[in-house]
């Protein structure tokens, strides 16, 4: 399968991401029902007492409050937001679009999450491949998304697709990265007609990609 075209990942605002995320946003971007769905996903997929990597993190991680993890590392764009996140043991400011490599060893984490932010990745396949490297074999990456975004920063292909298309696209990222198995799409939207939908694609790491 060929690479996705570069223009799929163009954005209306191509200015430095650091400038866009300079001001902290201590708000949630999905409603309470969708947040509860994310928390339930983490409850199901992340092992208690595990080492968890929260990617594209902010001031709240939506981890289940009753579960203790031995290590939670947040990687995000705004130091103030990360400092406000009480679930984090470690905080790293890193622009994955500029540097899709992660400062961790192979197999260092037991699970990872990207919550309603995958639409902003301009090098998603490289990022997913790197996430697979830092997860232990069979550890999950939970990628959740809704129908909201910052339109000036979401990549073009995301804005051209509907919810079903978003699910197919994220599954494509996993497949193209080459080090994921058991990839599944989940619809965890509330049965209520009102409220934000919540979808996820989950894959399990197959370890580092062979050179």
CA distances from 64 to 56, 98, 146, 210 (A): 18, 31, 19, 35
In this prediction, residue 24 carries a pLDDT of 59
Whose structure tokens read 């990687």?
Answer: 75
Least confident of 30-39, 135-144, 146-155: 146-155
Q: What does the alpha-carbon distance between residue 142 and residue 139 come to, in Å, rounded to a whole number?
A: 10
Residue that the structure tokens 């939908």 belong to: 197
User: How far, in Å, CA of 208 to CA of 150, rounded?
Assistant: 32
Q: Which fold is adopted by the domain 6-205?
A: Rossmann fold (3.40.50)
Tokens in use for 181? 């198995």
For residue 18, pLDDT over 70 is answered with no
d(CA 127, CA 134): 11
Q: What is the mean pLDDT of residues 49-64?
A: 96
Report in angstroms the alpha-carbon separations of 75 from 4, 17, 72, 133, 172: 26, 15, 10, 16, 23
The mean pLDDT of the chain is 90
137 token code pair: 């074999």
pLDDT digits (tens, 9 = 90+) for 148-207: 766 777 999 999 999 999 999 999 999 999 999 999 999 999 866 678 899 999 999 998
pLDDT tens-digit readout, 117-137: 999 999 999 999 999 999 999
Structure token digits, residue 64: 């289940």
Question: What is the percent of the chain with per-residue pLDDT over 70, rounded to a whole number?
Answer: 88
pLDDT of residue 211: 67
CA distance readout (Å), 182 to 10, 140, 197: 30, 9, 23
Contact 75, 101 (CB under 8 A): no
Residue 27 has pLDDT above 70, yes or no: no
Point out which residues pair with 53 in neighbouring strands: 73, 112
Q: Give the separation between CA 12 and CA 4, rounded to whole angstroms.
A: 18
pTM score above 0.85: yes
The tens digit of pLDDT for each residue in 78-95 reads 999 999 999 999 999 999
Q: How far is CA 127 from CA 48, 59, 140, 196, 197, in A?
A: 25, 22, 15, 26, 25
Q: How far apart are the two ends of the chain, measured CA to CA in Å? A: 19
**Bridge partners (DSSP) listed for residue 72:** 52
């Amino acid at each position: 399968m060929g690479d996705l075209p570069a223009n799929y990942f163009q954005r209306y605002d191509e200015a430095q991401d650091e400038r866009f995320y300079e001001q902290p946003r201590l708000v949630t971007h999905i409603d309470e029902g969708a947040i509860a769905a994310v928390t339930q996903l983490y409850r199901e997929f992340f092992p208690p007492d595990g080492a968890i990597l929260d990617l594209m993190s902010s001031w709240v991680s939506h981890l289940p409050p009753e579960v203790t993890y031995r290590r939670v590392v947040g990687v995000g764009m705004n130091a103030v937001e990360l400092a406000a996140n009480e679930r984090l043991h470690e905080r790293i400011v890193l622009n994955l679009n500029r540097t899709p490599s992660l400062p961790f060893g192979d197999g260092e984490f037991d699970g990872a999450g990207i919550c309603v932010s995958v639409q902003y990745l301009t090098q998603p396949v490289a990022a997913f491949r790197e996430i697979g490297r830092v997860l232990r074999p069979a550890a999950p990456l939970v990628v959740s998304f809704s129908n909201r975004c910052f339109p000036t920063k979401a990549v073009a292909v995301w804005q051209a697709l509907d919810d079903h298309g978003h699910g197919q696209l994220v599954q494509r990222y996993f497949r193209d990265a080459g080090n994921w198995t058991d990839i599944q799409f989940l619809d965890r939207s509330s049965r209520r007609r009102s409220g934000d939908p919540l979808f996820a694609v989950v894959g399990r790491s197959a370890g580092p990609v062979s050179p």
